[in-house]
Structure 1
């Protein structure tokens, strides 16, 4: 009994300590993310009103390059630096990372670069969390915990998905393993970060899935299952996984090719900006610039329009993938996740038409599944589906996210992710086959 009581007392002390440490960190991160979202919204709408700003994209790429060259140092590694610091604490996350990534992401969007916002929010979270590590003089174990909580706060705040933020922070560190010892501070940070953004008056985009009419059978009175719809979801989710693989590898390929072929490093973003301008002229519209959430003009393809019938073109997903790979691969700043949402939602729209399936449901499945495959976080993305779209289709969300995860290959958008075991047993059998064939 005494041992049990001591255990409970230790749990209470740990919980109180986590709360005291995580609260100010999450409030600071939420406030910074709120400022970022406000500035980002201003930048996007300002470019809508002044489309000529796109022609300055190559010059702004040079400015971003020299900002990081002169002041960025290790901050250039972005999210991967934070993940590495959680695995093996070393030089720390520089304080300058937060203002640098905020400013350069806003610049990228102001001049039309195709990027997201998750990377910015996560880097803001990691940078501010590392500042509090120094302030509180925390040990190595507490540093890992607070950096993870910083990711949760940043992610939960920028998308309005606090539970997803908490699980994403735990799941993204190592593929195939979640360590729950940081769950409590991550939950606190995710919810407080999101609440802080709301208190600052920042609102998130609302998505909606139309009523899906199916010939569902019920198992155990509670689980609706339409077998034909289920097969369509599995087929589409495998394609979502392949799109995740294509996104990650195309972005890495563009970066490697640019560095290899262009010997003068500041010319890399110049070339990237010129290609973006040329592509916009080639296809004759600006739908694939910037974030892709709000329309620049009536009829523009956006994430929101993808939830409607005929709300995306056949290859909208591919164009957005190419635009983003060029933008991020040539040195512009921002995240990958919102473009992944765009790729997934528009691909889901296209597949729904091909499979005669519910458009808004398949847009939602693509929205979360392509993200799951590219980041190797299927559990967090399942929860994101529930937080954004409701729990009615939770089973399909899980099937889509895990199927895409299995089909996305071994790579992802975060090179610092470590791997604990194989994604599927087929890798094991493939190695055994090759062993005996030799």
Structure 2
């Protein structure tokens, strides 16, 4: 009897064990990556003028690294999606050090970029390479999803959001339920590992309260439509900017050097580095200071400069800048419509992410895991509307979309 049960659930047991290993390794690497990135950002802010004009030369070095050692690693998230969709064979281990080092350098010299792409790629790479050691049938996509959940969770400490992000991001309108158990295990293990190793979580307690009435629903709906449009536009413009720059400057060395020089001058000229790095300064100002610390154009400059940085070929991610764009825009919209600015900033934090990634459930849980479960109705309403008004766009160009979602 026990033998039959074991044979029936053997693959599930093995996937669970592998998920624990993925969670521990990914959480540890996420912690190392995240803590060093924080120190790098602090150092950059203290030495900004000495570093920013070296950005184009740093760009040349990044292209050299990937050309010399990266092979197909330069595809980044597209490679992760390609392996999950059986369009690519595997993710080389070399991707992990390359993406970590190049992202550290991008931030050190003032590029406007994120970090989640690194974490997700780390988790997916570890999972894919561990999968080669097993002979579990049809497990490649399951393990990729598991690794993505671990990577996201270990860096952002939002394990439930990480699970749903990994389950829903590959194919819009479909959840990879086959990966649910290992994704849950890897996500919580990675979160626990990085937390125990000292990587802190961003968390805000919202002290504002609203009456959930018709007037509130209408105002939040209007704001959420704008969040969805902004998120969708970010994805759309980013993808087209990458194509445009590649067409106009097909030599990657020339492209990153020219755009890097333009970025250096722009980032110095506009508020002396305010829009460099992750955008956590804008996030902190949105929640921890009064609303007059946010300028009406903050979200727009972060929007444009992040797109240009990533389209040029610098490394990082989009999600933390999206959080910054959403929260700073939320402060402005909250002031205009007479709603609590911190609450609307929190809605923007999660809803612009929904609009830019074409995901629905994960953004809701990002909101409640960062800002509190008592605000669930607001996040559900805002993320739902933002998702519907995103224009079906995504920062992940290899994301597949079901026909039912295309019709919305």
What TM bracket, shorter-length normalisation?
over 0.9
How many Å apart are 1:12 and its aligned residue?
5.4
C-alpha deviations, 1:240-269, integer Å up to 9, x for none? 011012211221222122112224320111
1:315 aligned partner: 297
How many Å apart are 1:403 and its aligned residue?
0.8
What secondary structure, in the 3-state scheme, does the structure 1 residue paired with 2:314 have? coil
Aligned pairs for 1:384-423 within 5 A:
384-423=366-405
Aligned pairs for 1:21-40 within 5 A:
21-40=18-37
What secondary structure, in the 3-state scheme, does the structure 2 residue paired with 1:191 have? helix
How many Å apart are 1:15 and its aligned residue?
4.3
2:57 equivalent to 1:75: no
From 164, 168, 178, give the equivalent of 1:171. Answer: 168
Q: In 2, Cα distance between the equivalents of 1:424 and 1:229?
A: 30
How many Å apart are 1:155 and its aligned residue?
0.3
Aligned pairs for 1:277-316 within 5 A:
277-293=264-280, 295=281, 302-307=282-287, 308-316=290-298
Aligned pairs for 1:95-106 within 5 A:
95-106=93-104
How many Å apart are 1:8 and its aligned residue?
7.0
2:201 equivalent to 1:204: yes
Bigger radius of gyration: 1
From 180, 187, 190, give the equivalent of 2:177. Answer: 180
What secondary structure, in the 3-state scheme, does the structure 1 residue paired with 2:167 have? helix
2:230 equivalent to 1:233: no
CA contact (8 A) 2:326 2:352 kept: yes
What secondary structure, in the 3-state scheme, does the structure 2 residue paired with 1:153 have? helix
- The gaps in structure 1 that reach 5 residues or longer are 217-224, 296-301, 428-438
Pick closer, same or farther for the CA change 1:263–1:90 going to 2, 3 Å.
closer
Q: In 2, Cα distance between the equivalents of 1:8 and 1:381?
A: 37
Q: In 1, Cα distance between the equivalents of 2:237 and 2:272?
A: 22
CA contact (8 A) 1:311 1:349 kept: no
Q: In 2, Cα distance between the equivalents of 1:240 and 1:62?
A: 35
How many Å apart are 1:100 and its aligned residue?
0.6
Greater CA drift, 335-344 or 271-280 = 271-280
Q: In 2, Cα distance between the equivalents of 1:250 and 1:210?
A: 36
1:63 aligned partner: 61
From 140, 160, 170, give the equivalent of 1:143. Answer: 140
Aligned pairs for 1:236-385 within 5 A:
236-293=223-280, 295=281, 302-307=282-287, 308-385=290-367
Pick closer, same or farther for the CA change 1:414–1:278 going to 2, 3 Å.
same
CA contact (8 A) 2:355 2:393 kept: no
Q: In 1, Cα distance between the equivalents of 2:347 and 2:381?
A: 9
Q: In 1, Cα distance between the equivalents of 2:3 and 2:218?
A: 52
CA contact (8 A) 1:262 1:268 kept: yes
More helix per residue: 2
How many Å apart are 1:310 and its aligned residue?
2.1
TM-score (norm 1): 0.88
Pick closer, same or farther for the CA change 1:71–1:115 going to 2, 3 Å.
same
CA contact (8 A) 1:59 1:270 kept: yes
What secondary structure, in the 3-state scheme, does the structure 2 residue paired with 1:37 have? helix
What secondary structure, in the 3-state scheme, does the structure 1 residue paired with 2:342 have? helix
Greater CA drift, 414-423 or 186-195 = 414-423
CA contact (8 A) 1:29 1:193 kept: yes
Q: In 1, Cα distance between the equivalents of 2:142 and 2:246?
A: 35
Greater CA drift, 252-261 or 376-385 = 252-261
The number of equivalent residue pairs is: 405
CA contact (8 A) 1:378 1:398 kept: no
How many Å apart are 1:312 and its aligned residue?
1.2
1:220 aligned partner: none
